[in-house]
Amino acid sequence: MEQCACVERELEKVLHRFVMYGHQSEERLDELLRSVCEIRGQLVAFGVQDADLSVLSQTMAQCCKNIKETVQMLASRHKDIHGSVSKVGKAIDRNFDAEISAVVAETVWDTPERQKYLSETIVEHLYRQGMLSVAEDLCQESGVVIDMSMKQPFLELNRILEALRMQDLRPALEWAVTNRQRLLDLNSSLEFKLHRLYFISLLSGGISNQMEALQYARHFQPFASQHQRDIQILMGSLVYLRHGIENSPYRSLLETNQWAEICNIFTRDACALLGLSVESPLSVSFASGCMALPVLMNIKQVIEQRQCSGVWTHKDELPIEIDLGKKCWYHSVFACPILRQQTSESNPPMKLICGHVISRDALNKLTNAGKLKCPYCPMEQNPSHAKQIFF
């Protein structure tokens, strides 16, 4: 990501120059406009016949000179910006390798079936982002047919999220009440947090909403056992309603970041009910590729320099392990410490009597005359006593 940071720094310099150029241009042009308007006002007020022609000539000449200098100055500074823009392009060329085919399998998307999967993934991403018209256009051009049952949940999800961004809680509350039991099965606190936020919005309206807030507090009854402390805080804030919650010890209830938080909670729980990941698979794949690509390009360069072309022969396997961070951990993976390869259904992990775990292929290779000596401890054992691990 260092390369991205380097390009971003150059881009920030260009944007700063654009902003400064815009402010300076506006100031100079406003100044010229005022000067021209003053001259025009004098001519209208006194008339050309009453004015001293020599003075008028000098004034007009000076005005034209100022206009010419301003135009030249703006053109010069605009030319300097072009130089900064070209530096961004050079930074991109310097930090990014345009040719990545050496680390990409040529046959990844060579079949219609795989191309169909890619198009469906992109369409799903567009639906998640609320770009419905773009998704429809892609379906028409690619020939992908998306069932309405798959499309409808995303339409509802985006409708509710858009309402939450506008600080309208009603669609989300209706959805939460409809799916109350399923949310409870997930141990979700979404419905309570929505009621809590609606109650806070009533508090922010001042003393005029006191009765409405007291009546709305009845919605907290089903959540009294799980959220007793939160409900006590909300009810205690009513004491300060006359003086304003913002001037009370409960001012933290009015923090604006609660709206972004409720959007994230709704997205997480709604996706869980739909059996979807919180983040788009396309976004996760793209982010993972951005982290892995620089490492793979460096490995490719080392392999070429040392003339070790046989080290990496399969494009569907990585020559090294790349840490993508815990954010990209979606399932457990066990790598055999002996053969240094990931286990699979055909080659599962096996636990020895001594407690060490190796793959079945390693177990078979280490077995000699019906006996096995653990490679990590001197204990000899019968390989048939090893147990398969499931995870």
Per-residue pLDDT of the chain (391 residues; tens, 9 = 90+): 677 778 888 888 888 888 888 888 888 888 888 888 887 877 777 665 555 667 777 777 888 888 888 888 888 888 888 878 888 888 887 777 666 766 776 677 778 888 888 888 898 888 888 788 888 888 888 888 877 777 788 888 888 988 998 989 999 999 999 998 888 888 888 999 999 999 988 888 888 888 888 898 898 988 888 888 998 988 888 888 888 888 888 888 888 888 889 998 998 888 888 777 778 888 888 888 888 887 887 877 777 777 766 556 555 566 677 888 777 776 667 888 888 888 888 888 998 888 889 999 998 888 888 888 888 887 888 888 888 887 6
Provide Rg for the chain, Cα atoms: 34
pLDDT at 194: 92
- Cβ 198 vs Cβ 216: under 8 Å: yes
Q: How many helices and strands (H and E) does the chain possess?
A: 13, 5
User: Which residue type does 249 have?
Assistant: P
User: Contacts for 246-255 with beta carbons within 8 Å, 24 or more apart?
Assistant: 253/200, 253/203, 254/200, 254/203, 254/204
Q: Is 154 left (phi over 0), alpha (psi -120 to 50) or beta?
A: alpha
pLDDT at 175: 92
- 202 DSSP β-pair partners: none
pLDDT at 195: 92
Two tokens, residue 286: 């793209």
pLDDT at 61: 82
pLDDT at 145: 83
